[in-house]
């Protein structure tokens, strides 16, 4: 959970297989192939180079990019959040596209890194991210990681003092909720809820 009291889009870049551009090599010693070897004809040489190149590419593997949804998630959570807030005598929160975009950005960052964090690897803390997304004024963020649905997510947050405090803050009138699926484990979701005035 993160909160700032006055905050006046980053892009995720995925590098696939850096530093694995080796065509052929054996660790600890060097090998060479020449066309002058008496027992090696040109076709074998080309096949060897081709196989070595394919082996280098295969060593890269496939990138595990996050896949996820953001649109419609805030709308799906409106009833749950409304029940939580009206039970506490508070007005309902309204879904907000700008806050949902900020939530989706953070969920995507967490899914790409495979860990929960309110800061990003490129030095953006919560306040900086909110300013970058055009969110001004008081704002708060709840994050989560797990294999659970929307109802379980809010149950978990309601049983945590700081997360519950954010959701029941009377200063907030808007929210955005998003999740991203982990590309390595599609049943694992990274959630972000951003609340604002």
- pLDDT tens per residue across span 63-85: 445 666 544 589 999 999 999 99
How many residues can be counted in the chain?
Answer: 197
Asked if 151 and 166 sit in the same domain, the reply is yes
Q: Where does residue 177 fall: left (phi above 0), alpha (psi -120 to 50 degrees), or beta otherwise? A: beta
Sign of CA dihedral 118, 9, 78, 181: negative
- Asked whether the predicted pLDDT for residue 99 surpasses 50, the reply is yes
Q: Using DSSP, state whether 142 is helix, strand or coil.
A: strand
Asked if 42 and 103 sit in the same domain, the reply is no
Asked if 79 and 154 sit in the same domain, the reply is yes
**Which pLDDT value is given to residue 126?**
85
Asked if 109 and 151 sit in the same domain, the reply is yes
Are 170 and 34 in contact by the 8 Å Cβ rule? The answer is no
Asked if 132 and 166 sit in the same domain, the reply is yes
Beta-carbon contacts of residue 127 (< 8 Å; ≥ 6 apart)? 4, 7
What's the pLDDT tens digit per position in 152-187?
999 999 999 999 999 999 999 999 999 998 888 888
Asked if 170 and 159 sit in the same domain, the reply is yes
Asked if 175 and 82 sit in the same domain, the reply is yes
Asked if 97 and 188 sit in the same domain, the reply is yes
Domain span at residue 186 reads 2-14+65-196
Asked if 83 and 36 sit in the same domain, the reply is no
CA distance 195 to 139: 5
Asked if 178 and 118 sit in the same domain, the reply is yes
Q: Domains in the chain: how many in total?
A: 2
Contacts 24+ apart (CB under 8 A), 54-57: 55/24, 56/20, 56/21, 56/22, 56/23, 56/24, 57/17
- Asked whether the predicted pLDDT for residue 35 surpasses 50, the reply is no
CA distance 149 to 133: 27
Asked if 85 and 134 sit in the same domain, the reply is yes
Element (H, E) at 183: none
């Amino acid at each position: 959970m993160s909160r700032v009291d006055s905050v006046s889009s980053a892009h995720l870049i995925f590098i696939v297989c850096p530093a694995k551009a080796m065509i052929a090599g054996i660790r600890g010693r060097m090998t060479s192939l020449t066309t002058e070897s008496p027992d090696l004809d040109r076709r074998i040489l080309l096949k060897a180079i081709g196989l070595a190149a394919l082996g280098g590419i295969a060593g890269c593997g496939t990138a595990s990019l996050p896949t996820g949804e953001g649109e419609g998630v805030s709308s799906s959570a409106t009833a749950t959040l409304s029940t939580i807030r009206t039970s506490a005598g508070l007005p309902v929160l309204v879904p907000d596209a700008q806050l949902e975009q900020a939530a989706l950005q953070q969920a995507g960052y967490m899914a790409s890194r495979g860990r929960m964090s309110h800061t990003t690897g490129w030095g953006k803390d919560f306040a900086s991210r909110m300013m970058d997304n055009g969110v001004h004024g008081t704002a708060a963020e709840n994050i989560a990681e797990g294999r659970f649905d929307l109802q379980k997510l809010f149950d978990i947050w309601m049983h945590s003092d700081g997360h519950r405090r954010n959701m029941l803050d009377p200063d907030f009138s808007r929210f955005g909720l998003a999740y991203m699926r982990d590309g390595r484990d599609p049943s694992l979701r990274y959630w972000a809820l951003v609340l604002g005035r």
